[in-house]
Amino acid sequence: MKHIVSGIQPTGSLNIGTYLGSIKNFVKLQDQMPEHEFFIFIADLHAITIPKEKQFLRKKIKELAALYIACGLDPNRVNLFIQSEVPAHSQLAYLLQCNSYIGELERMTQYKDKSKKQESVTVGLFSYPTLMAADILLYDAEYVPVGIDQKQHLELTRDIAIRMNNRYNDIFTVPQPLIAEVGAKIQSLTDPDQKMSKSDDLIKSRIDLLDDENIIRKRIRSAVTDSVGTIVYNKEQRAGISNLMTIYSVITGKSFTELEEQYQGCGYKEFKDDLAEVVVGELKPIQERYYDLINSKELDDILDKGRDRAIQVAMKKITKINDRIGLGRKRR
Ligand code: TYM
């Protein structure tokens, strides 16, 4: 069976950017690609590349696990697990670091952005993309569904895989990113030139999946647009309204042309009021399921089952890689 792999960092509250650019896509794919096995995880090792407080981290790990399921991941279709509970991720990351170069890691734009904001930069933050490559190559992923901001990391993963395939006789599947046509980059509500981000200090910039419906309405009402006043998609010149149309389109499945026709002659108020109801309607059942799940044994059982299957696949792969590299003793 071919594999699909992806993960999300438990670094903050999950917002509709991550949901529409990533989780909603996983849910669609689990039905569209029945011949693939899915490995979806909570990237807690990635989260500590910038140190986190213990209680906060634990809370966010569990919250993300429950939200994955509440958003519609089917635990019978998907192996859902916590990255740190499968030690082979760290093991392979080290082996990949021995086959990666400082120069190529220095070129990563996320590293450049994140390191600028830190007083001192950890080695973990610098080597972050090699851990991500390990997450993917460990399971021989054929496809990796991600948002656009992860594209460069995927290209590096492919480069490392090809390099090691040449050196160690085809040990890895070279993965391909799966980037949604619409929704792969949801922008901030307050600065539509920036990505909507869970680490943005400005809370008004995003809608979190667990936000109360009145907050959702307020955030959409105050989202930055422009003075033109028409509902027309133009990402370059009218980033604000185009971003809101993207959110509307990904949730309802309506194309930009359909939305332009539907809202011809209408102003922003009418469009925003409708969008708010569309978002509230999408998030309500997710929130209800989340509160049922968050402290349940069901969630622990799902994570145990996912971990056991991930360990089974990952350990087999690590043993094979160690053998190809020549580590340890020759197997009899
Ligand atoms: P993270 O946690 O920042 O984001 C998780 C996923 O959500 C997508 N995303 C967005 N998509 C559209 N609009 C947005 N505003 C938005 N914000 C986030 C991201 O592209 C991503 O797909 N390094 C990864 C996590 C990771 C991973 C992996 C992913 C670790 N190992 C292996 C795939 C495979 C990250 O920080 O994503």
Average pLDDT estimate for 129-150: 97
Per-residue pLDDT, 300: 97
Per-residue pLDDT, 175: 98
Read off the amino acid at residue 311. Answer: I
Average pLDDT estimate for 297-313: 98
User: Are 140 and 96 within one domain?
Assistant: yes
User: Are 166 and 268 within one domain?
Assistant: no
User: Are 17 and 95 within one domain?
Assistant: yes
- CA nearest ligand 1 atom 20, residue: 147
Catalytic residue among 52, 151, 195, 204: 195
Q: Which long-range contacts (CB under 8 A, 24 or more apart) does 248-256 make?
A: 248/274, 248/275, 248/278, 249/182, 249/183, 250/20, 250/24, 250/180, 250/182, 250/183, 251/20, 251/278, 251/279, 251/282, 252/278
User: Are 22 and 95 within one domain?
Assistant: yes
Residue in 149, 157, 160 to alter for ligand 1 test, most ligand atoms within 8 A of Cβ: 149
Provide the pLDDT confidence category of residue 128 given band limits of 50, 70 and 90.
Answer: very high
Domain tally, the chain: 2
Average pLDDT estimate for 37-52: 96
Residue 47 included in any domain: yes
Q: 43 CA to middle of ligand 1, Å? A: 10
Residue 184 included in any domain: no
User: Are 28 and 73 within one domain?
Assistant: yes
Q: Is 7 in the pocket of ligand 1 (CB under 6 A)?
A: yes
Q: Is 17 in the pocket of ligand 1 (CB under 6 A)?
A: yes
Per-residue pLDDT, 284: 98
Element (H, E) at 236: none
Residue 103 has pLDDT above 80, yes or no: yes
Per-residue pLDDT, 310: 98
Q: Is 12 in the pocket of ligand 1 (CB under 6 A)?
A: no
Provide the pLDDT confidence category of residue 183 given band limits of 50, 70 and 90.
Answer: confident
User: Are 31 and 172 within one domain?
Assistant: yes
Q: What is the CATH number of the domain that holds 221?
A: 1.10.240.10
Which range among 38-52, 180-194, 251-265 shows the weakest confidence by mean pLDDT? 180-194
Provide the pLDDT confidence category of residue 330 given band limits of 50, 70 and 90.
Answer: confident
Per-residue pLDDT, 13: 86
DSSP 8-class letter at 23: I
Q: Is 192 in the pocket of ligand 1 (CB under 6 A)?
A: no
Residue 191 included in any domain: no
Provide the pLDDT confidence category of residue 26 given band limits of 50, 70 and 90.
Answer: very high
Average pLDDT estimate for 14-36: 95
Per-residue pLDDT, 211: 97
User: In sequence order, what are the residues at sequence separation of 6 or more whose Cβ sits closer than 8 angstroms to the Cβ of residue 73?
Assistant: 23, 26, 27, 30, 40, 80
User: Are 246 and 120 within one domain?
Assistant: no
Residue of 199 and 224 predicted with greater confidence: 224
Residue 96 has pLDDT above 80, yes or no: yes
Q: Is 235 in the pocket of ligand 1 (CB under 6 A)?
A: no
Average pLDDT estimate for 57-70: 97
Alpha-carbon torsion angle 107, 150, 239, 115, nearest 10: -50
Provide the pLDDT confidence category of residue 199 given band limits of 50, 70 and 90.
Answer: confident
Catalytic residue among 52, 198, 235, 317: 198
Residue 186 included in any domain: no
C-alpha 266/C-alpha 252 separation (Å) is 19
Residue 331 has pLDDT above 80, yes or no: no
Residue 261 included in any domain: yes
> Are 204 and 173 a contacting pair, CB within 8 Å?
no
Q: 227 CA to middle of ligand 1, Å? A: 32
Neighbours of 243 (CB within 10 A): 24
**Structure tokens given for 35:** 């011949």
Per-residue pLDDT, 146: 95
Q: How far apart are the first and last CA of the chain?
A: 27
Alpha carbon 61 to chain centroid, angstroms = 14
User: Are 218 and 158 within one domain?
Assistant: no
Q: Is 189 in the pocket of ligand 1 (CB under 6 A)?
A: no
Per-residue pLDDT, 1: 87
The verdict on whether 195 is a catalytic residue reads yes
User: Are 30 and 168 within one domain?
Assistant: yes
User: Are 78 and 99 within one domain?
Assistant: yes
User: Are 256 and 318 within one domain?
Assistant: no
Domain that holds residue 239: 203-291
The verdict on whether 114 is a catalytic residue reads yes
Q: Is 95 in the pocket of ligand 1 (CB under 6 A)?
A: no
The verdict on whether 320 is a catalytic residue reads no
Residue 188 included in any domain: no
User: Are 310 and 175 within one domain?
Assistant: yes
